A and B are shown apart, each in its own frame.
Chain A
Amino acid sequence: MTNDLIHATAAELAAKIHSGEVSSVEVTQAHLDRIAETDGKVNAFLHVDTEGALAQARTVDEAVKAGETVGALAGVPLALKDVMTTEGVPTTVGSKILEGWLPPYDATVTRKLKEAGVVILGKTNMDEFAMGSSTENSAYGPTHNPWDLDRIPGGSGGGSSAALAAYQAPLAIGTDTGGSIRQPGAVTGTVGVKPTYGGVSRYGLVAFSSSLDQAGPCARTVLDAALLHEVIAGYDHMDSTSINAPVPPVVAAAREGLSGDLSGLRIGVVTQFQGEGYQPGVLRSFQAAVSQLKELGAEIADVSCPSFDYALPAYYLIAPSECSSNLARFDAMRYGLRVGDDGTRSTEEVMSLTREAGFGPEVKRRIMIGTYALSSGYYDAYYGSAQKVRTLITQDFAKAFENFDVLISPTTPTTAFKIGERANDPIAMYKADLCTIPANLAGTPAMSVPSGLSDEDGLPVGLQIMAPALQDHRMYRVAAAYEAARGAFGGPSL
């Protein structure tokens, strides 16, 4: 029974809970038990909110018993990335500098989840301030990939994706600044969606890079991701960059996709994202996916987006620049860590000692890069040029979407690498996000759906699907159709 509950999809669990077949408390307890049993090995969670989760589950059970109408995912457990504020529940963003901070307010995403009756199991591990591609930059130890505990689960949202792969939760929330939802999804064999920028409110999302950060749904199936997408998306007056437009009909699109017919759909294969540096097994998995999409009736052709070659360097100027400013507020004056305040030191010294002790090496590296890039005399050459590249990338997307409904590529150049393998080589680490970054720079939606396992190492591979802004539903339709055609590919044994 417990086994069934933890392996079920969110849609199945919701149906069972709402029909009274099982209670949300049973489902929630099954997942809490699974976390207790496996998280010593995986380290997906930074904080498990047992009481809060069970209380929410009881509330849903009572509503169901009373015959009230409940939300589509009411009673279903979820793992929340520790970048989202949760009132009265620790929010560390994977950093020592926020250790022990209890936010006085809920992020809009948190609030929407609670209002929808979703059960928040706890907060998941992440690279500190979402800076990283392996979760090794967490101040609280790395998360391990359930498919191979010696390997990384991707990052920054490795905790959320690993929790899905380890059957600790059927749903999770991630945030994606350069690939932090999609790349962990790809290397853990799970689905991860970065919605259109502005599609999901950023209020309460602790900022890394404001113009790139976007929260999105993570799940084991495309339909589950779509159901969660509709819970968290929508205009929010608390976020000026939130789009005041109807939420794209992603659930309907996912259901439509399950029919398996993609006749007439035009799919472009981005030529920049293959060849040298790509693991052969990843490319073979990608080619197999292309063949399957053809069989579903899609018309597929190559498309060149030359500016995508400059996406990675542009990203590593824009994101650090914004982060150098966003992270300035962590100064020991109001909340979080405070070091050196022994009555003898000046404010500046306490600020400096706190930041020295509270931030990890990758965060410091990016603050320094960003500070430099914004400096007077360098601004035009670095931040300014990067913004121009960003415009060119947006134009490349626009041109490609004149001829194609969606674009595809591998999500990552390789499968999960070993923990420690790239820890001392930032450039190699940054390359994990090569294929995912353009969509962040353009603000367009993109997702990763598993394309099975690489034939050479048996590790999961991700297929990336990209759509024009506010056309999120297009990629859900393709992903759902592909997922059905692909079939099951097994799961990790833990």
Chain B
Amino acid sequence: MTSLVELMDYDEVIEKYDPVLGLEVHVELHTNTKMFCGCANEFGGEPNTHTCPTCLGLPGSLPVVNGKAVESAIRIGLALNCEIAEWCRFARKNYFYPDMPKNFQTSQYDEPIAFNGWLDVTLDDGEVIRVEIERAHMEEDTGKSLHVGGATGRIHGAEHSLLDYNRAGVPLIEIVTKMIPGTKERAPEVARAYVTALRDLLKALDVSDVRMDQGSLRCDANVSLSPKTTGALGTRTETKNVNSLRSVERAVRFEMTRQAAVLESGGEVIQETRHFDESSGSTSSGRKKETAEDYRYFPEPDLVPIAPSREWVEELRGTLPELPWERRARIQKEWNLTDEVLRDLVNANALDLIEATVVAGAKPDEARSWWVSYLAQQANTRGVELTDLPITPAQVARVIELVNTGALTNKLAREAVNGVLEGEGSPDEVVEKRGLKVVSDDSALEKAVDEALAAQPDVAQKIRDGKVQAAGAIVGAVMKATKGQADAARVREIVLARCS
């Protein structure tokens, strides 16, 4: 199906067109209760167990706004440098869909709670792009439809559908960018970097789980192409179902090459919703908008307007945590990192881990060294994210401490870490169980050195002749003999003393 889609070579796309981006991100807040009722806001659960008359839209039921959700919305708005509305309302967005219990979504329309903001986004090479934020508004999530009996799990071809309203009424914040022009060949990267920056920001605010795989962070990517010859804005498509950061980048790139091919062949880009397919990396036509959707928005009469006092807004501003970019700037200064090193740490998702390790007592460069080399290697070998390794920053700090006090050599320390990763317990427990101990008894070491010298008389002679670098072979032999439990520096001292 998708193989029939013509695509233009990416370089050619960039030569002929300027891509224009627009990103809509939906964030599920992790409040205790839903947006308009007291039901638990939890991911999963037996179908239709987190429901009540209000989130089922039963006749006669009424919504009541979750104050915590409003608070989160304002904090998000402030962190995105938005203005916060002095007075705003909810509105009803009317359309029929079975997973929407009232057949209207309670949302905000022309009076969003936050508007006119920006977010600075750092690209992989360190370039910073300011993405302007149009608005952030509050709304409720829908339930979920499960289509049974079809091949694709989509509604087409299904025998019947099941509805689960556990998610219906979960608080959502929709964050919409203004048009992002001028990104040229970096458009896909900008899209990914923006969603990444937003995710980190929301995480720092502690307002959402921001799990793209569970749908608590969802991105719709709007893409259009503007021909360089005319500079006119093109028709945009909206790609949904973009469930990972990587997919954001792939989806934008695919749409650029697809739209360019359509335009090149004399066709017209159709304004439509498209569906991103993870496995093929392509988009396919979703709902055709044959007639313009008319949602018949009007102010929600069941809710009173929201008028956050300026005092409250300022109070909430005071609760904002150190935001990701502020934190990065501070860490760079404190640890004395170059731009490049900092970027690598950020890209490797190592910054949090290193900082936590430092907080647990390690020195920044020691902590950094462990996470970006040995532990990164281990994560890579195991095929997991660094953050998912079964070792805590505090445990890493403890290993570093053991090295610094001379209780472990670097080699022993790696073994201790391996033990922790294998689930053998804390570093101290692993040291105990595996009997990891530096051999510090000089007489034992002297004996081992003498044996090694005797085994390699030619090497011994070289050392005696002043070729100090030859000592390495003897040190290596001693380390092998002591199963690495000796302090190599001390061994070297003894070797040199014996041969002087």
Contacts and interface: CB of A to CB of B under 8 A. Distances in A.
A236 to B, nearest CB: 9
Given A325-B296, A328-B96, A331-B103, A203 B62 contact: yes
A400 B356 CA distance: 69
B144 to A, nearest CB: 14
A43 to B, nearest CB: 23
B2 to A, nearest CB: 26
A91 B161 CA distance: 28
Contact of B58 (A105, A205, A347): A105
Nearest to B300: A210
Interface string A96-119: 001001011101000000000000
A374 B64 contact: no
B296 A103 contact: no
Interface string B324-342: 0000000000000000000
Contacts of A347: 98, 161
A206 B103 CA distance: 15
B267 to A, nearest CB: 28
B101 A210 contact: no
A375 B296 contact: yes
Chain A interface main SS type: loop
B457 interface: no
Interface stretch (A238-246, A260-268, A410-418, A469-477): A238-246
A240 B296 contact: no
A322 B296 contact: no
A207 interface: yes
Nearest to B36: A240
B163 A333 contact: yes
B60 A321 contact: no
B65 interface: yes
Contact of A103 (B58, B94, B161): B58
A74 to B, nearest CB: 25
B343 to A, nearest CB: 47
B298 A206 contact: no
Interface in A329-388: 329-331, 333-335, 347-348, 351, 371, 374-376, 379, 383
B364 interface: no
A84 B60 CA distance: 8
Interface in A300-345: 321-322, 324-325, 328-331, 333-335
Given A210-B301, A325-B104, A333-B163, A85 B60 contact: yes
A240 to B, nearest CB: 5
B304 A241 contact: yes
Interface string B247-260: 00000000000000
A394 to B, nearest CB: 15
A134 to B, nearest CB: 23
B294 interface: yes
B153 interface: no
Interface string A184-213: 000000000000000000111111011100
B63 A240 contact: yes
A98 B59 contact: yes
A284 interface: no
A334 B301 contact: no
A493 to B, nearest CB: 37
Contacts of B98: 331, 333, 347
A206 B63 CA distance: 13
Nearest to B165: A334
B285 interface: no
Contact of A206 (B60, B64, B92, B294): B60
A10 interface: no
Nearest to A387: B299
A237 interface: yes
A347 B97 CA distance: 9
A211 B301 contact: yes
A239 B62 contact: yes
Contacts of B102: 328-329
Given A351-B96, A383-B298, A206 B59 contact: yes
B61 interface: yes
A329 B63 CA distance: 14
Given A205-B60, A329-B102, A374 B296 contact: yes
Contacts of B63: 240
A300 B397 CA distance: 88
Contacts of A238: 62, 64
B305 to A, nearest CB: 10
Contact of B59 (A93, A237, A241, A325): A93
B47 interface: no
A408 B44 CA distance: 58
Contacts of B62: 202-203, 238-240
Assign chain A's interface to a size class. 35 or more
B472 interface: no
A240 B306 CA distance: 11
A26 B53 CA distance: 36
Nearest to A198: B304
Given A103-B59, A105-B53, A375-B296, A241 B92 contact: no
Contacts of A374: 94, 296-298
B101 A329 contact: yes
A329 to B, nearest CB: 5
Contact of A328 (B64, B94, B302, B304): B94
B298 A91 contact: no
A325 B298 contact: yes
Nearest to B93: A325
A235 to B, nearest CB: 12
B163 A376 contact: no
A379 B103 contact: no
A328 B103 contact: yes
Interface in B61-109: 61-65, 92, 94, 96, 98, 101-104
B60 A240 contact: no
B303 interface: yes
Contact of B60 (A207, A241, A348): A207
B315 to A, nearest CB: 23
A207 B65 CA distance: 18
Interface in A208-233: 209-211
B322 to A, nearest CB: 36
B301 A322 contact: yes
Contacts of A107: 60
A376 B293 CA distance: 9
Contacts of A331: 96, 98, 103
B181 interface: no
Contacts of B58: 85, 103-105, 334-335
A379 B58 CA distance: 28
A321 B96 contact: no
Given A321-B298, A374-B298, A328 B104 contact: yes
B56 interface: yes
B425 interface: no
Interface string B267-302: 000000000000000000000000010101110011
Contacts of A322: 298, 301
Nearest to A377: B294
B88 to A, nearest CB: 15
17 contacts: A85-B58, A91-B60, A93-B59, A105-B58, A105-B60, A107-B60, A205-B60, A206-B60, A207-B302, A210-B302, A237-B64, A240-B64, A325-B296, A329-B102, A334-B58, A371-B296, A374-B296
9 nearest A-B pairs in the assembled complex, by CB-CB distance: A328-B103, A374-B296, A210-B301, A211-B301, A204-B60, A206-B59, A85-B60, A206-B60, A329-B102
Interface of B: 53, 56-65, 92, 94, 96, 98, 101-104, 161, 163, 292, 294, 296-298, 301-304
Given A203-B62, A241-B304, A329-B57, 12 more contacts: A91-B60, A93-B59, A105-B60, A203-B61, A204-B60, A211-B301, A239-B64, A325-B296, A325-B298, A331-B98, A331-B103, A335-B59
Interface of A: 84-85, 91, 93, 98, 101, 103-105, 107, 202-207, 209-211, 237-241, 321-322, 324-325, 328-331, 333-335, 347-348, 351, 371, 374-376, 379, 383
